[in-house]
Amino acid sequence: MKIISIIIAAITVLLLLSTLMCGLWIKSKGLTDVGSLNFHMQIGIGTVIFGLISVILLIFKTLKN
């Protein structure tokens, strides 16, 4: 369980950083094409999902102890 939590947390951090960099790239370049925005949106949705999984694992781990 500990290894799974660490892996999920690492994926969440990487997705958060990717979303931040992608958003800043889109803003600095002034991109408005649908492909760039869809890619950013997909990374954002993945980040939210993995963030929720991380929170659920944390709650489960806390209640277990």
Residues in CB range of 5: below 8 A, 6 or more apart:
54, 57, 58, 61
Q: Is 5 within the bounds of a domain? A: no
Token pair of 42 as six digits = 């997909």
Q: Is 2 within the bounds of a domain? A: no
Q: Is 54 within the bounds of a domain? A: yes
Domain limits for position 20? 16-24+32-60
Q: Is 46 within the bounds of a domain? A: yes
Q: Is 56 within the bounds of a domain? A: yes
What global pTM score does this model have?
0.80
Please, what are the averages of pLDDT over each run of 10 residues along the chain (65 residues)? 88 93 90 88 92 91 85
SS3 21: helix
Q: What is the pLDDT of residues 6-23, one digit of tens each?
A: 899 899 999 999 999 998
What is the C-alpha separation between 43 and 26, in angstroms, rounded? 13
The total number of structural domains that make up the chain = 1
Q: Is 42 within the bounds of a domain? A: yes
